[in-house]
């Protein structure tokens, strides 16, 4: 069917297993499969979703375009389905940089015409690297464009972090880069990002950035993400619902209060705030704070404190030296500034014990834009760490957090703590282990969900991933025969393996508080060990002795592990035999004595006049 044809498939957007299948099918039908693009290729296959950048790049690689057909991959799929070689004209690729020859051929034009017509050629292509300060700045903006239009929109945070590190590394580089080895040696620039930078310096553009520019989905997601209060997840939901423009969002989408405000002032929020305007807004807030209490400590954070020329919003941090007066400051401050017209919209509700405000402010001058403002009020002892975290930048805070973790400490906005117990995760990273919570037993079989007090370190040290109960010494004087265990936390956020083990041990669906009994055997111990962070377990003891089969209805198992048995105890005292007459006439005699107690009838030995100790009365 494919006799005399030589195929080459561009691997872009095609998985390896699929390429292997196409290769086998072509060779079975008398075709030749090439692993590289050269002059012998007669049919060039492109994925149906291939973009212009890739096509123009292939144009430059084809040495003899006059006999090379460039068709969609769907042509080969349809040929194999029908078992016949179909006409390739309906499947021909039509891109700038390609021109038709005859009725079936769609091939590349000459190299000169490609370089002349392609809009992506920003500057002549060079074969060596020699960067100047201006080129370093331009490639930084190009990488930032990749972030803005691509990875941030799809919530790919790890690639976002990688590009941010590369951008900062290039901005700090104060010397020209002469070679690719010199570029790769810069800390913060990986192999793949270095390849993109080299491609920019040689061709004048970043191929990935051009792909993102022509991707409709990413453009729509970026548009939705530009609304304050909308994240990547919500953007994906709106795109799946068919929304494509801001007008669709206004008319059809169900918006929260924050999203309505973000959509209303979207264009104004996207504009950077000059340093002078930040100072004016901060001065208004500071004057109001000092009018409430002159002893308050006031600090403007964010990019303003980092002495940047522009800011995205206004970040303000407030505290009080006495550690008490700050508690009622924020609601009063927000109310006063709102009454004066400085705060136009609120993005957070003012509740009791809430120490952070997010809102919209506007200067009283005519033509002033609406700006985002955040005010955080913290206790005096938390002010240093809060100032550090709110000043930024985000990359600096991540770096100093990583440094604190490596030193056995934990840094947050509230404090810097040392001696934090950490557990090695499956990936090898040391993670902080939060205090667990447990169910505390109360009388009448009632359980209350209470936090476990963290009064001392755990008796068990779970050091390495993959450890088992056999790796630790026995802590009990006498090994129990049985364990009692119950769930105190749902496994819904755990891995699939942990959820499966939980269902095996506690049933499906597993319920909190349901106590289960397990044998003290290696198998059950190993299964319980894998979910030790979800369960509470105690050894079973028998204060009244081990129950028998007859005692099963009277067994009571407590969460502490005590197994109580309420046994029936028979009266073993000897029975005193009396004479038959006394047995049969006892009631009759007592009745007669009650009626004739004042008579001197001595029916038996007992009489009304007998001593009290012996009398039946």
pLDDT at 304: 92
d(CA 343, CA 281): 11
In this predicted structure, what is the pLDDT of residue 282?
94
Alpha-carbon gap, residue 564 to 556, rounded angstroms: 5
| Locus of tokens 């270095």 | 194
Average pLDDT over residues 400-404: 85
Pair 268, 371: CB distance under 8 Å: yes
In the three-class reduction of DSSP (H, G, I as helix; E, B as strand; rest coil), residue 482 is classed as strand
304-353 pLDDT, tens digit each: 999 999 999 999 999 998 888 888 889 899 999 999 999 999 998 766 56
The predicted model gives 148-156 an average pLDDT of 64
* CB-based contact 222:149 (threshold 8 Å): yes
Query: Of 319, 609, 149, nearest to 617 (Cα)?
Result: 609
The more confidently predicted of residues 434 and 541 is 541
Residue 100 confidence (pLDDT) above 50: no
More confident residue, 398 or 282: 282
Average pLDDT over residues 404-431: 68
Q: Both tokens of residue 269?
A: 């929020």
Task: State how far Cα 47 lies from the chain centre.
Answer: 34
Q: Which residue has the higher pLDDT, 113 or 580?
A: 580
φ/ψ (deg, to 5) at 310? -135, 155
Mean pLDDT value of segment 196-217: 71
Q: How many CB atoms lie within 10 A of CB 505?
A: 19
Query: How far apart, in whole angstroms, are the C-alpha atoms of residue 94 and residue 92?
Result: 6
Please tell me the predicted confidence (pLDDT) of residue 342: 92
Domain 479-574 homologous superfamily, CATH: Ribosomal protein L30/L7 (3.30.1390.20)
Cβ(170)–Cβ(139) under 8 Å? yes
Give the C-alpha distances (Å, rounded to integers) separating 208 from 45, 142, 489: 21, 10, 44
CATH superfamily of 6-91: BRCT domain (3.40.50.10190)
Confidence band for 474, pLDDT divided at 50, 70 and 90: low
How many Cβ atoms are within 10 Å of 367's Cβ, its own excluded? 5
Q: Is the pLDDT reported for residue 182 higher than 80? A: no
User: Is the C-alpha dihedral spanning 174, 176, 182, 183 positive or negative?
Assistant: positive
Highest mean pLDDT among 257-266, 424-433, 565-574: 257-266
Task: Output the pLDDT for position 235.
Answer: 87
Q: How confident is the model at residue 142 (pLDDT cuts 50, 70, 90)?
A: low
List the beta bridge partners of residue 102. Answer: none
The answer to whether 289 and 320 are in contact (CB under 8 A) is no
Over range 442-457, report the average pLDDT: 41
Residue pair 224/234 in contact (Cβ under 8 Å)? The answer is yes
First to last CA, the chain: 123
485-516 pLDDT, tens digit each: 888 778 887 888 888 888 888 888 888 878 88
Q: CA of 329: how far to CAs of 336, 350, 386, in Å? A: 11, 12, 17
**Region 190-216: what's the mean pLDDT?**
71
In this model, does residue 468 exceed pLDDT 70?
A: no
Across residues 209-228, what is the average pLDDT? 81
What pLDDT sits at residue 423? 53
Cα 179 to Cα 182, 191, 195, 265: the distances in Å are 5, 14, 12, 46
Torsion of CA 365, 367, 372, 375, to 10 degrees: 0
Is pLDDT of 27 > 70? yes
CA–CA gap between residue 337 and residue 255 (Å, rounded): 27
Residue 24 reports pLDDT greater than 50: yes
Question: Rounded distance, CA 430 to CA 469, Å?
Answer: 21
Q: Is the pLDDT of residue 450 over 60?
A: no
- Quickly state the pLDDT bin for 471 (edges 50, 70, 90): low
Residue 527 has pLDDT above 60, yes or no: yes
- What pLDDT was estimated at residue 287? 94
Contact indicator for 441, 560 with CB cutoff of 8 Å: yes
Averaged over 401-408, what is the pLDDT? 83
Mean pLDDT of 117-121: 35
The pLDDT value given to residue 269: 92
| Active-site hit among 81, 122, 196, 503 | 196
- Is the separation of the CB atoms in 562 and 543 below 8 Å? yes
Is 3.30.460.10 the CATH number for 273-412? yes
* Mean pLDDT, residues 454-477 taken together: 52
pLDDT of 369 strictly over 60: yes
More confidently predicted of 468 and 297: 297
The mean per-residue pLDDT over the stretch 153-179 comes to 71
Range with the poorest average pLDDT among 14-23, 219-228, 369-378, 469-478: 469-478
- For residue 235, the surrounding DSSP H or E stretch is helix 232-240
> Would residue 196 show up in a list of annotated catalytic residues for this protein?
yes
Distance CA 349, CA 359 (A): 10
* CATH code, residues 133-270: 1.10.150.20
Higher pLDDT, 446 or 233: 233
Render pLDDT for 57-75 as a digit per residue (tens, 0 to 9): 555 555 445 567 888 888 8
Q: Is the pLDDT of residue 125 over 60?
A: no
- Cα–Cα nearest to 368, from 234, 499, 273: 273
Taking the CA atoms of residue 335, residue 341, residue 346 and residue 351 in that order, the dihedral angle to the nearest 10 degrees is 0
pLDDT band at 528 (very low <50, low <70, confident <90, very high): confident
* Residue 39: pLDDT band with limits 50, 70, 90: confident
Three-state secondary-structure class, residue 68 = coil
241-293, pLDDT tens digit by residue? 889 999 999 998 889 999 999 999 999 999 999 999 999 999 999 999 999 99
Per-residue pLDDT, 595: 67
d(CA 142, CA 140): 5
pLDDT of residue 314: 95
Domains of the chain by residue range: 6-91, 133-270, 273-412, 479-574
Q: How would DSSP label each residue in 153-181?
A: TTT-HHHHHHHHHHHHHHHH--S---SHH
Interatomic CA distance for residues 296 and 318, integer angstroms: 7
Bigger pLDDT: 195 vs 284:
284
d(CA 31, CA 210): 35
Q: What was the pLDDT predicted at 394?
A: 82
Answer yes or no: is pLDDT of 467 > 70: no
């Amino acid at each position: 069917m494919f006799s005399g044809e030589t195929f080459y498939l561009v691997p872009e957007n095609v998985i390896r297993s699929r390429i292997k299948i196409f290769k086998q099918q072509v060779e079975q039908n008398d075709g030749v499969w090439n692993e590289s693009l050269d002059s012998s290729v007669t049919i060039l296959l492109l994925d149906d979703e291939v973009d212009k950048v890739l096509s123009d790049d292939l144009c430059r690689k084809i040495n003899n375009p006059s006999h090379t057909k460039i068709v969609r991959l769907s042509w080969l799929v349809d040929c194999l389905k029908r078992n016949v070689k179909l006409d390739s004209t309906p499947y021909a690729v039509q891109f700038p940089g390609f021109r038709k020859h005859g009725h079936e051929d769609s091939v590349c034009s000459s190299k000169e015409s490609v370089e002349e017509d392609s809009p992506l050629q920003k500057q002549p292509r060079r074969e060596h690297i020699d960067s100047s300060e201006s080129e370093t700045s331009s490639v930084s903006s190009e990488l930032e464009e990749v972030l803005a239009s691509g990875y941030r929109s799809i919530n790919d945070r790890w690639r976002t972090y990688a590009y941010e590190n590369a951008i900062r590394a290039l901005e700090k580089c104060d010397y020209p880069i002469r070679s690719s080895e010199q570029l790769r040696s810069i800390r913060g620039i990986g192999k793949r990002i270095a390849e993109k930078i080299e491609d920019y310096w040689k061709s004048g553009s970043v191929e990935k950035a051009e792909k993102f520019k022509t991707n409709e989905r990413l453009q729509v997601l970026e548009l939705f993400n530009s609304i304050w209060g909308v994240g990547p997840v919500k953007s994906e939901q709106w795109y799946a619902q068919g929304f494509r423009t801001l007008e669709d969002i206004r008319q059809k989408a169900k918006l929260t209060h924050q999203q309505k405000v973000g959509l209303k002032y979207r264009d104004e929020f996207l504009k950077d705030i000059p340093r002078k305007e930040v100072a004016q807004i901060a001065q208004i807030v500071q004057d109001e704070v000092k009018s409430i209490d002159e002893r308050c400590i006031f600090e403007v954070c964010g990019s303003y404190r980092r002495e940047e020329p522009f800011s995205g919003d206004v970040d303000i941090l407030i505290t009080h030296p006495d550690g008490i007066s700050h508690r009622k400051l924020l609601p009063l401050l927000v109310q006063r500034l709102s009454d004066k017209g400085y705060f136009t919209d609120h993005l957070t509700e003012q509740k009791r014990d809430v120490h952070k405000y997010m809102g919209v402010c506007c200067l009283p001058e005519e033509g002033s834009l609406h700006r985002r403002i955040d005010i955080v009020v913290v206790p005096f002892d938390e002010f240093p760490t809060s100032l550090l975290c709110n000043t930024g930048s985000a990359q600096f805070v991540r770096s100093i957090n990583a440094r604190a973790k490596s030193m056995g400490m934990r840094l947050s906005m509230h404090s810097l703590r040392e001696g934090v117990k950490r557990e090695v995760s499956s990936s090898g990273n040391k993670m902080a282990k939060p205090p667990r919570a447990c169910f505390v037993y109360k009388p009448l079989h009632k359980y209350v969900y209470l936090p476990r007090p963290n009064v001392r370190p755990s008796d068990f040290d779970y050091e390495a991933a993959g450890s088992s109960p056999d790796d630790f010494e026995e802590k009990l004087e006498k090994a129990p025969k049985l364990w009692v265990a119950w769930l105190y936390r749902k496994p819904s956020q755990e891995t699939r393996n942990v959820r499966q083990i939980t269902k095996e041990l506690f049933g499906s669906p597993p319920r909190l508080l349901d106590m289960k009994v397990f044998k003290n055997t290696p198998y059950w111990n190993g299964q319980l060990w894998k979910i030790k962070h979800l369960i509470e377990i105690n050894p079973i003891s028998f204060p009244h002795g081990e129950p028998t089969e007859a005692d099963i209805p009277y067994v009571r198992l407590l969460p502490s592990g005590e197994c109580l048995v309420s046994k029936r105890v028979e009266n073993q005292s000897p029975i005193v035999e009396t004479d038959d007459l006394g047995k049969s006439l006892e009631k009759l005699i007592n009745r007669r004595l009650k009626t004739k107690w004042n008579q001197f009838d001595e029916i038996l030995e007992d009489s009304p006049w007998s001593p009290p100790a012996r009398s039946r009365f």
